[in-house]
Amino acid sequence: MVRCAIMAILAFPEEEVSRPLAAPQYAHWQAALADAVRDPVELCRLLGLDAPLAAAAKGAAGRFPLLVPRPYLARIRPGDPEDPLLLQVLPRVAERIEAPGYLTDPLGEAEALVAPGLLAKYRGRSLIVAAGACAVHCRFCFRRHFPYNSSPDSAADWGPALRQIAGDASTREVILSGGDPLAMPDASLARLARRLGDVPHLRRLRVHTRLPVMIPQRVTDELLGWLCGGGLSARVVVHVNHPAEIDPSVAGALGRLVDAGIPVLQQAVLLRGVNDRIEILAELYERLIDIRVAPYYLHQLDPVAGAAHFEVAQSTGVRLIRQLRTRLPGYAVPRYVRETPGGLSKEVLA
């Protein structure tokens, strides 16, 4: 069937086919970051979408404006307002609708802040909110209301967080999160990694990021250098929600990490209209294991204000995971989890 669809496309005269946009070439990942699309009118024009969608996006975005890097934009199907990649980034009127139980700090993270920008919620692991910035604004992000300006912007300001980590011998692992930690320059990250490497009781460094998926060029030699060279055992957890997010350049970027000996794990959020179908999830996880990325967590949506329209019932999530187990190798099926305020671990739902 897929083959027939391709033939049908090829049979069209060129101008009638909505072709994906070419991804621009950039000299450096930071140029790609700076060149991201921020204006809904431009986004809709580039994708051949109706102007009312852009107007609605402008009104709905609030204090979490549209942000889409062009290498990701190139993977969105033009002319399709329901494209699963577009749904993740285009503000919708539904964001303005208040839903009961949907909060600005759904995980009670303010409670777990033990130093500026440092969350210690689970035993042995501390999470540094290393950067306020991201390469993309995911509309369902649970930290979309996080008071980022209260955390420092560069490794030079990490004194209190580092002192806290150094003073707690039970901490074995530090997670760099955000925002997206890889939005920071490698020089700052290398400095931070070095200082963490100097803490005697620390063993592992974990990076939670979506940047290599948004801008594959982010996997630089310098990045591999500080990840591998800091004396801590490193791993990377990438956020990927849909198989169409993985184009050859993303596969190549993640492959470079794996080739460098860094375990790469993947997490996703279960999202209505994006990945809440068995075929989509099966394809996502199969593509991931094909490129040697290990599925780790599938998250139940955190009830963050503005994201209620993405919710999938937990019973549906459990059913999807059970179906995946009948189709894929065991190592291709992630744990379906939910985060609870005050919990001692993520709660495994299936």
Ligand X SMILES: *Cc1c(COP(=O)(O)O)cnc(C)c1O
DSSP string, 122-136: ETTEEEEEEES--SS
The residue (of 112 and 258) whose beta carbon lies closer to ligand X is: 112
Determine if 120 is a binding residue for ligand SF4 (CB under 6 A).
no
Among 119, 131, 246, 284, binds ligand X (CB under 6 A): 119
Q: Under rule CB under 6 A, how many of the chain's residues touch ligand SF4?
A: 11
Decide which of ligand SF4, ligand X, none touches 138; Cβ closer than 5 to 8 Å per partner kind.
ligand SF4
C-alpha pair distances (Å), 63 with each of 19, 37, 102, 139, 170: 32, 16, 17, 11, 38
- Smallest gap, in angstroms, from Cβ of residue 98 to ligand SF4? 21
Angstrom distance (rounded) from CA 178 to CA 159 = 17
Binding mask of the shown chain, residues 162 to 191, with x at each position contacting ligand X by CB under 6 A: -------------x----------------
Q: Report the residue number, 47 or 211, with the smaller CB distance to ligand SF4.
A: 211
Q: Is 178 in the site for ligand SF4 (CB under 6 A)?
A: yes
Q: Is 219 in the site for ligand SF4 (CB under 6 A)?
A: no
Nearer to ligand SF4, 202 or 240 (CB): 240
Helix (H) / strand (E) element for 153: namely: none
Q: Which helix (H) or strand (E) holds 212?
A: helix 211-214
User: Which one of ligand X, ligand SF4, none is in contact with 70 (Cβ closer than 5 to 8 A by kind)?
Assistant: none
- 179 lies in the binding site for ligand SF4 (CB under 6 A): yes
Residue 247 CB contacts under 8 Å (≥ 6 apart), including other chains: 74, 75
The amino acid occupying position 43 is L
Question: DSSP E strands: which ranges in the chain?
Answer: 113-115, 118-122, 125-131, 173-178, 204-209, 233-239, 264-269, 294-299, 335-338, 347-348
Q: Is 265 exposed, middle or buried (0-12, 13-18, 19+ CB in 10 A)?
A: middle
Q: Report the nearest approach of ligand SF4 to the CB of residue 245 (Å).
A: 12
Is 137 a residue that touches ligand SF4 (CB under 6 A)? yes
**To which residue do tokens 């925002």 refer?**
179
70 contributes a contact to ligand SF4 by CB under 6 A: no
Q: Is 33 in the site for ligand X (CB under 6 A)?
A: no
Residue 148 within binding range of ligand X, rule CB under 6 A: no
Contact with ligand SF4 (CB under 6 A) among 136, 174, 264, 332? 136
Q: Token digits for 198?
A: 């100097």
Interface residue with ligand SF4 among 206, 235, 239, 299 (CB under 6 A) is: 239
Q: Is residue 242 within the footprint of ligand SF4 (CB under 6 A)?
A: no
Nearer to ligand X, 119 or 307 (CB): 119
* Rounded Cα–Cα distance for residues 148 and 143 (Å): 9
Q: Single out the residue of 210, 274, 202 nearest to residue 231, CA to CA.
A: 202
CA angle at 17 for the pair 13 and 23, rounded to the nearest 5°: 125
Give the residue with the Cβ less far from ligand X, 127 or 138: 127
Give the per-residue SS3 of 255-319. HHHHHCCCCEEEEEECCCCCCCCHHHHHHHHHHHHHCCCEEEEEECCCCECCCHHHCCCHHHHHH
Q: For ligand X, which residue of 70, 75, 121, 242 counts as binding (CB under 6 A)?
A: 121
Judged by the rule CB under 6 A, the positions of this chain that interact with ligand SF4 are 134, 136-138, 141, 143, 178-180, 210, 239
Contacting positions for ligand X (CB under 6 A): 112, 119, 121-122, 125, 127, 175, 346
